Amino acid sequence: MKNALLKMRLVLGAVVGMAIFATVAHAAAPGITGPSFSLIAQPAYLTQPDGQSVYSWGYGCSTQPTGWAPSAMTPPSTGCPGMQVPGPTIIVTEGDSVSVTLTNNLPASAGNTSILFPGFQVTTTGGTAGLITQEAAHGSTVTYSFLASSPGTRSYYSGTQSDLQVEMGMYGAVIVLPKSVPASCTAGVFASNLAAESFRKEKDFRLADAAYDSAKTCYDREYLFQFSEIDPNIHIQAESQVSACAVSATPATCVLQVPTEPYHPAYFMINGRSMPDDMEPNYGVDFPHQPYNGNPHMHPGEMVLLRIVGQGRWQHPFHEHANHVRILGRDGNLILSPDGTSLAGPALFTTTTTPGLAMDGIFYYTGKGLNWDMYGHNPASTDPLAKLPCVPDANGYNTGDPTAINYFEWCQDHNKPVQAAPFGDVAAGGPVTLPDPNILTNGAWYGGSMYLGPNATGRAVGTTGSTPPSGTIANSPSGEAGFAFMWHSHNEREITTNNAFPGGMMMMMLIDSREFVIDETN
């Protein structure tokens, strides 16, 4: 009981100190590489922020994988867990001949199990004929083979009694990387962004330079988010029936009869975790069967690839604050104009996923439109960093010097005080007007200051200004001091954990000044 209460206090405390979680963990798109994979299906327990352990089933590695990705991320010493939710992210390259051998180690009463790989032409070896695909009986194996025919993100999940097995946690993602890298992805502004990262000694956590075989899909960072939900009543009944079958007089013929309707989910998860657990480290020891987190970071001007997959049974209208997401493709299908020269995917206010739907999209943030200098430049300051130049490129951004703290500053706002003409307000002569909440969330969500970087407040207003210094609310002033934008489900129930707010499908996109090194290793 004490542990459960402590966990709930952490959830409630997240409202005040969200960025505390963010300083120790960052997300990426971690997974295992092949092209041959050996997976196992077996039970384990998932932890939730209210202290509950939920009996679940999932896929894992039956043997150590061929490799790990991204290469810059250090894998856990224990290797791929025997079972995890979501299942291991399978990372291959376009043109690979992929094989996945599945061993069924679920309880005997659960019966057969399988994997579907939508979007691929799959052949099977071994197993037992099922309704949709070949299945592995208890203690047996089946092998699925397919050609990784085109790049993009897709889902995989059980094709056996899916209403129960997918609910129990049997799903994951496949990422196919493009075989050819467009030359423009390592030139121009993308080369400058790489130079800026290199100067700060940041590692490159991308799986590739582009999401597809198109120069329109180059990116600087990437994150994988899988959305799912849990109805604990189904899991409780499954565990109870498994236990009953194990001690029955005829265990060999005992089978589960778990009703999956009516459906009342109480846990809503990103990558198998609910907030604030999704902002803890990847492969964290507290989450042995939930290795992937959901904690994106970026610097202004970077193109961030979001790989988004709808798992489970419900639609999830996920809203990324600060900008729309430009969709590149769905289920591995790049969306271009008829002449192939322009992106034709929609710009989404919410990246609403339906079960099994995967999409790739680009999110970016530059600070354009804030109407104040978020880098804290001030001609009256004695700090040399307060007098950095802003030389606009053809698009109006300061991209000439990748080593500058204000690299990618929107030069039209250079040297402007905070919101000279605030939205919906009449300027009263200053010295400061708090940022318009339609543009930037105030308070602890971004460290207490409307300036980007740990020292920017002092440069902008000096020691006598009324603006609180960055970091006084959530982080150390000398540490991370960026803008935090809440990313969350627009279904209000889905931002709770067992009906307690805050929780569920919620995280922060943390936009950090260049001097903060984004390190996604654990």
- Residue 436 lies inside a defined structural domain of this protein: no
| pLDDT of the residue at 371 | 80
Q: What are phi and psi of 168, to 5 degrees?
A: -75, -10
Specify the number of domains making up the chain: 1
- Residue 342 lies inside a defined structural domain of this protein: yes
What's the pLDDT tens digit per position in 124-142? Answer: 999 999 999 999 999 999 9
What torsion, rounded to 10 degrees, do the Cα atoms 418, 421, 424, 428 define? 80
Cα–Cα distance, 204 to 302 (Å, whole number): 13
- Residue 381 lies inside a defined structural domain of this protein: no
Instruction: Kindly report whether the global pTM for this prediction surpasses the value 0.95.
Output: no
Q: Which two tokens stand for residue 206?
A: 């991308």
Q: Which residues of the chain fall below pLDDT 70?
A: 1-27, 77-79, 419-448, 463-478, 522
- Residue 413 lies inside a defined structural domain of this protein: no
Q: Which two tokens stand for residue 430?
A: 């200053």
- Residue 279 lies inside a defined structural domain of this protein: yes
Q: Which two tokens stand for residue 225?
A: 């988010």
What's the pLDDT tens digit per position in 327-383? Answer: 999 999 999 999 888 999 999 999 999 999 999 999 999 999 788 899 999 888 889
Determine how β-strand 221-230 pairs with β-strand 303-310.
parallel
* DSSP-based three-state secondary structure for 303: strand
- CATH number for the domain spanning 60: value is 2.60.40.420
| pLDDT of the residue at 409 | 97
Cα–Cα distance, 87 to 272 (Å, whole number): 9
| pLDDT of the residue at 469 | 57
Cα–Cα distance, 266 to 229 (Å, whole number): 7
Question: Radius of gyration of the chain from Cα atoms?
Answer: 24
- Residue 382 lies inside a defined structural domain of this protein: no
Listed residue (450, 458, 440, 376) closest to 413, CA to CA = 376
- Residue 156 lies inside a defined structural domain of this protein: yes
DSSP class of residue 435? P
Termini Cα distance of the chain: 30
- Residue 101 lies inside a defined structural domain of this protein: yes
| Enclosing domain of residue 294 | 1-243+267-365+441-447+482-522
| pLDDT of the residue at 55 | 98
